[in-house]
Amino acid sequence: MSQTQTAPAERKKFSIPKYLVITMLTILAVGPQYFTNLAYSVNQIVVQGGLNLNGNIILYPSILSNLAFALGVPLGRVLSRRYGLRPTYLVLIFAFLVGSILNTFSADIGLLIAGRSIQGLTAGMLFLTIIPATLISFPGHIRNFFLFFVISGLFGSSAVGAFFGALSLSVDAWRWLFSLNIITAVICLVVGLIVLPKPTEKELDTRPIDKTGVFLLTVITLVTISPLLNLQQKGFDSLYVWPFLVIDVILLGLFINVDSRVSNPLVPLHSLWSWKAMSGATMAIVGHLLLVVAIAGINGILRNILDIPFRNLSIFYLWFFIGIVVSALICTFLYDVVGAGTLGIIGSIIIIVLGIDWIHVGFSTSITTLYAQIAFLGIGISMALVSGALGTALAGDLHYASDRSVSLHSVRNFLGALITPVVAWFITTRNVVHYEDIRNHVINGDPEVTNELTKMIQYLMAQGQSLADAKTNAMFSVVVNAKKAAILEAYHNTFVWIIVLGVIMLIASIGKAVTGKGLGLRSKEEKPKKEKQALLPSPKNEQ
């Protein structure tokens, strides 16, 4: 009898709360996409050397993966509603596993592009398949901790990816990063098979799918490929760019018109037509764009200007992760207290101050200072982006929260996919402009440049070099310094974007705050009473 009495207690001791299991399935399913994106942006020079690639073709896998992710976001919601969480999740995780295997063993850029595109599409589809289920799985009295896991787990995956990308530079190897994706996908498959419940017919959405919307959005995505791949090298005036962008605008108009007329639209943009929803959506969208611009700019400064050791690069992105965790804690405990708008205001101010500081970053900037600044970047952006996204979902009737979420995240990810090549094109063109300005100063005999060149030649001759060698080496030094100065100015121009976007995010956050704190995550309901467990019949019943 003693064994009978202790069995329930032993079972409870080793049980894991359902919400923690679902959270793990979310982080390990969607997080690897963010992880790989940042890791690839940091270590792509190693991948380029490993595959013997030349030119900007190394950027193609990342560009196409981001675009595929954006397409997958609205499609995932459709599939999970039609077929249920379990089958949708397991099929998509298996597809993600296939993409990870292709990446790990890819022998050329074609396989790498295919693998990254599969990863992007399936991760995008998983995004709104599993995240809503995660939120619902949290008990009402601790639902605010959903924010901690989402920010530190998903947003933090980007920082962890950058950290591991820097590590891969140190060991001069990259395939092991993709093998980590294989491990996470296998874990998700095994655990998902065990814990995810089979859907009932009552849970499934039998409404007709917006097939026209799916078709148009797919065509828009395919048409966008050419301008994104060619923009950096050819510019907006290229025939590979502007005609396709014109077609995109026309198709986008058709898509919006079609989705405004159907009862079950793929991307219900009309759900955002309120100040509460629009202000929160602006916070999240601008926060996403800010992240892309900031990482592109500061990563370029570290690699091309300061040329810091790989160890310091790893530490740099570790501080980025620390900032994100701090933001997760702040949002977890203060979201219900002050609301999304106030958190967005704080985050926006941090970003604006940071942008002003980075305009003055230069060759003598302390790496310790940059450690602190990247931590504040993690705090500011994640605080505004995530609180804005959640504030959008909760901005009105909760029955339409899913509509607002899919609209926001579809727009956010499509604009995020577009902005990356635009930033690369901007940095490239500004670099050329600044270099030509410096070069003209040298050619036209600018007195200041001539004076510095003369001093350098005299110094080299004093070191024992001949006049001819001194002139050659001095001119070479001038060219090298001119190139560094030009790219530094290009990055400074990019950081102006941070200030402008930060101001836009601040205005949206103030607007969000003006509309009120809004709905909170935690419910004031009492904790559910513990159910009595019985593994064996009661002795009384046996009698």
Tell me what the pLDDT averaged over the chain comes to.
89
Phi, psi dihedral angles at 144 (to 5 degrees): -65, -20
Mean pLDDT value across residues 222-241: 95
Q: What is the pLDDT of residue 534?
A: 39
Confidence grade of residue 524 (pLDDT, cut at 50, 70, 90)? low
The residues, any chain, with a CB within 8 Å of residue 229's CB and separated by 6 or more, are: 60, 63, 64, 421
Q: What percent of the chain has pLDDT over 70?
A: 92
Length of the chain: 543
Angle (CA) 524 532 536, round 5°: 160
Q: Which band of pLDDT confidence, cut at 50, 70 and 90, is reported for residue 481?
A: confident
Helices and strands per DSSP (H, E), number in the chain: 17, 0
pLDDT at 465: 82
353: pLDDT strictly greater than 80: yes
**Percent of the chain at pLDDT above 90?**
68
Query: Two tokens at 59?
Result: 């950027």
Rounded CA separation 511/175 (Å) = 46
* Element housing 244 (H / E): helix 242-259
Task: Please state the domain extents for the chain.
Answer: 16-207, 210-263
Residues 6 or more apart whose Cβ sits within 8 Å of residue 452: 478
* Distance of alpha carbon 26 from alpha carbon 28, whole angstroms: 6
Looking at 359-400, list the stretches that DSSP marks H as alpha helix, in order from N- to C-terminal side.
367-393
Q: What is the pLDDT of residue 537?
A: 45
Nearest residue to 334 via CA among 350, 346, 348, 318: 346
Q: pLDDT at position 478, please?
A: 75
pTM of the model: 0.90
Contact 375, 366 (CB under 8 A): no
* Integer Cα distance of 502 and 294 in angstroms: 11
- Which two tokens mark 490? 């290009």
pLDDT over 60 (residue 383): yes
Task: Tell me what pLDDT residue 446 has.
Answer: 66
Closest CA to 269 of 79, 400, 386: 400
CB 324 within 8 A of CB 378: yes
Residue position matching structure tokens 């809503």: 132
Per-residue pLDDT for 3 more than 60?
no
Per-residue buried b or exposed e for 355-385, using 16+ beta carbons within 10 Å of the residue's own CB: bebbeebeeebeeeebbebbbbbbbbbbbbb
Lowest mean pLDDT among 44-53, 254-263, 354-363, 433-442: 433-442
CA–CA distances in Å: residue 320 to residues 245, 270, 364, 482, 494:
35, 36, 21, 31, 20
Could you please state the CATH topology (level 3) that the domain comprising 16-207 is classified under: Growth Hormone; Chain: A; (1.20.1250)
Which of 313-327, 415-429, 479-493 bottoms out in mean pLDDT, i.e. has the lowest?
479-493
Q: Is 58 left (phi over 0), alpha (psi -120 to 50) or beta?
A: alpha
Q: How confident is the model at residue 207 (pLDDT cuts 50, 70, 90)?
A: confident
| pLDDT the model gives residue 455 | 80
Residue 538 pLDDT grade (very low, low, confident, very high; cuts 50, 70, 90): very low
| Range name among 189-203, 245-259, 369-383 with the lowest pLDDT average | 189-203
> In sequence order, what are the residues at sequence separation of 6 or more whose Cβ sits closer than 8 angstroms to the Cβ of residue 417?
63, 66, 67, 69, 70, 224, 228
